[in-house]
Structures are given as C-alpha cells and as structure tokens.
Amino acid sequence: MGRIVGIDLGTTYSLVAYTDAATRKPVCLADEQGRTLLPSVVSLDPAGSVVVGWPARERLLRQAERTVYSVKRLMGKGLEDVREELQLFPFRLAPGSESVIRIQLGEKIFTPPEISAFILRELKRRAEAFFSEEVSRAVITVPAYFNDAQRQATKDAGRIAGLEVERLVNEPTAASLAYGLDKHQRALIGVYDFGGGTFDISLLRLQEGLFEVLATNGDTHLGGDDIDNLLAEKARAEIHQQLKLDVAENPELYQSLRNAVIAAKHALSAEERTTLRFPLDARGDYVRELTRAEFESWIEPIIERTLGPAKRALKDAGLKPEQMDEVVLVGGSTRIPLVRRRVEQLFRRRPHCELNPDEVVALGAALQANILAGGVEDMLLLDVTPLSLGIETLGGAVAKIIPRNSTIPASATEMFTTYADNQTGVDIHVVQGERELVKDCRSLARFTLKIPPQPAGLPRVEVKFLIDADGLLQVTARDIRTGQQASVEVKPSYGLSDDEVERMILESIEYAEADFAATQLIGARNEADAVLRATARALAEPQAQELAPEERREIEQAEAALRQALAGDDYRLIRERIEALNQATHHLAEMLMNAAMQTALKGKRADEVNL
C-alpha cells in the first residue's frame, strides 16, 4: 500500500515518525542537527520566502510581526473564538477575518491551514530525505477535544501540503499505543495531555484490542503557552516597575523576554532554583532569582484548571480516580514537577512518563500508520463515520440513526411502525448524508421486511445499525411481535472524496433552514392524513348519528379546511387546521370513548372491574 508516516502537528512543536520494519518499533525522524522537534513556527522574510521551524523561531526576536506561532490554536476558529488571545500574538489579522481568520505576514495573507501546511511540508521533506523517496501519505493526530471545524482544517492543511491524510487519530489513543498499553487484555486508561496550546483528558477502556473512548474533556485554550504568557507578564510588570520600561511596546524585545522566561521554566523542571537574566538597554539588565516554589505558586491556578475537566470526565464516565489501571502523561508541560504531583494525587497512582512526552504522540501515530500500511495485522484501528447514517421515513424524510463522527465499532437501534392498514411489508431504505431529505442524501441499500397484515401503527419494527471494526455496516429490521427479521450488509461510502464530504456538510449548513421547513411540512402532512382518516372512521360509527346537526357541520367544515391547507406548503397552517379539527371532534371522541367503556364493562360486577 506504500509508506505512511505518522505526524504530530503540535501547538509548540511538530514531529514526524515511522515504524522500523525490522524492530517494529516507532522512531521519530531528526533533522540534520539531530533534532526531532520542529518548532511550529512560520515566518516570512522581507524577500517573500517562507521560513519554517528553528530559523523561524529565531526570527521571532527580529521580525515578530512577520512570524506566526501556536497556529494550532487558530485552526477552525472564527475571530470571536480567539479575540482575547490574539492580543498576545505579535502578528496582525488581515481584513475580512470575521468568519475565517486570515493572518497578515508582510505583504502576504495566509489562513491557519496554510500556515500549518508549511509545517507539514517541512516534515514531509524531512521524511523524504530520510527514505530517499516521495512520501505522500500520513496519519495526523488531533486533540480528542477538537471539533469538526478544527478537524476539517487539519485535513485541509494536509491536502495543501501535498499529503493524503489517511486518518485523523485522537492523540490519547496514539499515546496509549506508544506505551504498549494495547497489550493489556482489558484496562481503564487515563491520558492527561498538557501541551503547548491545548489540554485534553481522555478516559479509555481497552478490551481485547479495542479502544473505547468513555469520556473526554479539556480546554482548547489552555496549555504551556498560558504559563509562558503568565511568566512573561510578571517579568514585564517587574521591569516596568523597576526600570520604568514597558517591553511590551517593542514586539522583538517582548519575544526575547518570552524566550528568557521559557528557558527559566525549563530549568526549574530539573532544578530547585535558577537565574532569569534578560539584557536590556543602557538602563541595565533585568536579573532575578526564581525558585521552583515561587514558580509553582504562580502557575498553580493554571494547573488547577486542568483538574476540573479531569474530574468532570471521570464523572461523565461513572468512574472513580482509583479505578484507572494506567495513567499516561503527554505533552511538554507534563515535565513540570507540580503537574506530575497533581496528576498522581488525583488518580492515586504514579503516571507513565518514561517516554519523551514531546514524542509520545508522534510515536503512536507511526504505529497507527503502520497498521494502515499493512505492517501489523493483529491490531485494530478505530475509525469514525464521516457522514450520518439513517433510513427513509414516510414522505421522504431521513431518520438519522448513527450520526457522523461516531467512533466505530458502533451500534444504534430505533423503533418504527407502519403508516397504512394491513401492510404486508416494510421497505427499509438505508441512506448516508447530512441533509434532512432522502433526495439530498446518498442511497446505500434497500431491503424489505415481511410482516403480517395489521392496523396502521400497531406493528413495532426494530431497526438496528451495526458498524463493525472493518467499517462494514449491517442493518437489521425485526418485527418485535413475530420475531421475523431481515437484514442487509452494506459498505458505507468511506470512498467519498474529502471534497464530496465537505460539500455535503456545507450543503447541510447552507440548506438547514429550507430542510427544516421541508421536514416540518412532511411531518404536518403525515399527521393531517392520519387525523383525517381517524375522523372518517369516527363519523362512520353508530354513535356519530347522535351528533347535533351543527356539530357535524362544524366537523365537516374543519375537515374541508384541513384538506385545503394540505394542498399548500404552509406547515404552520396545516398544524393550525389539525388543531381546529381536533377541537371540533372533541365531543365525538368523548361519545366513542363512553361507548367503548360501556361495552367493556357490560355484564361485569363492580369487584371484577380493575380500575
């Protein structure tokens, strides 16, 4: 099938990895200087050339306004989503960034997926240099907390970079694989991922090779960047107080200060104290002794913010902290001793931190890429459904049974009934798509369930959708009363191109209002037909002969008004006329109910009546 690499597209650093065929172990690829980490930084030099990685990071000091970092925080976001944190970035937004963020770098304008594509392209080049061949396929990891827009933006970035994104894999699953936790027969695994720009907590159940996500929580606006910004702001405030100089007015100077506090943060992960030294102008240097205890007292509120989502995830999963069999630390920020202590206190067990926390997700991505490439046959990779799956209901509407982005294996069951009297079969039409009407979705399969003739609404038909680990969909329809069933196995259209999937999703948004009106009209017409049939049956009953002439006339007029409304497309008017007919037949319904009760009670003693 060809080589597939694993990529961790990170907020602060990005990596590319592969699985060695001889050892079957994942390895991160390094650059010419032996560095596996690629800073997720992109800069545009005055000549118009794009610079990526370490050289771009250095340009933060000299050309901050032409340099972008932490772009992962902007992926799939609109201006309102990130307005506050944009104040911390040195780059500017271009006009027209209200719905889609556009970044102004010098004379050029880029979207976040385009910036991410430069990073992916650099990783692609690194892999091609190592293998001496073209690399065009990749598995890319994303936070479990990423929404649809953020995931789509990541796929777009891969496409722009010339990579076929075979799979977007949740980072917690990748980390679990990297630690070999898939070798357990069964286990409950917590993955605490505290990176540069995002925090995720994921609780997984592993059972016989299957990873099941029990709960996720987190914050896409919480990460090591927040610690860096806090330290930089405290240092800036002290400099301003001591030397009457506001370094924030000089973007290059502020980035230099930011780099200095980041170096101090790194030092305090291994030492109890360090010296923060920052050269200024003729007014002297800013020099400050910083202890780990002081550092931890500053950042403790940020670390505490990670524990809230962790506790909520445990509550959502119905688990207690001590029930977790394994806890894995992911992300560079988990090197901070305070983080490790808080996680150990919460879960009451020492977390896994043996692997390089910056590399662990990329290593897992490489393992999953190897599975897709056919290198491993005894491991299972979970996927998600790209589009919703459902069946056609009366009037051409769609009843969605498995929504898009559901993790597979997946199953769901819904109950249905018949519309007409004495039906001898129920047609099951399986469709895929995001629109509300069958005509706007993709047809996958049809089959018929035979049932004995019964009055409308009496049969109970259970329709079950089951998607197995190979992506095969099986649809079963069963008559609850007789036990008779029929089924069909179909291959959902995972072969749809990304453009087709994107078009279908965009159309579901574009036509949402019209689709809603159409489904409301179908529902109103179906209800009106049922009410008219019920009214006709009621008027044919002997008790209806006792109606006063004016009551019968009122019912007939309400019937005629409803039929007239049915000829139009105003679902609100149809529902108004249904209500009017219900009101007109209220007395008739009471008469029929009384007659039915008298028949049921006839010839019975009081003690035989069970009320």
**Residues labelled as active-site residues:** 8, 72, 171, 193
Q: Give the C-alpha separation, 463 to 432, whole Å.
A: 16
Dist CA 186 CA 202 (whole Å): 16
Task: Name the burial class of residue 14, with classes exposed (0-12), middle (13-18) and buried (19+) by CB atoms within 10 angstroms of its CB.
Answer: buried
Distance, CA of 425 to CA of 494 (rounded, Å): 30
Residue that the structure tokens 């890429």 belong to: 369
Note whether 141 and 174 are within 8 A (CB): yes
d(CA 110, CA 132): 31
Contact (Cβ atoms closer than 8 angstroms) between residue 273 and residue 290: yes
Greatest Cα pair distance, the chain, in angstroms, is 111
Question: If residue 124 lies in a helix (H) or strand (E), which one and from where to where?
Answer: helix 112-131
> Are 312 and 347 spatial neighbours (Cβ–Cβ below 8 Å)?
no
190, 347 Cβ separation under 8 angstroms: yes
Rg (the chain; Cα; Å): 32
CB 431 within 8 A of CB 398: yes
With H, G, I as helix, E, B as strand and everything else as coil, classify residue 478: strand
Given a contact cutoff of 8 angstroms between Cβ atoms, the answer to whether 140 and 165 are in contact is yes
Q: Which long-range contacts (CB under 8 A, 24 or more apart) does 592-598 make?
A: 592/538, 592/541, 592/543, 595/541, 595/543
Q: How far apart are CA 501 and CA 173, in angstroms?
A: 25
- Integer Cα distance of 495 and 493 in angstroms: 5
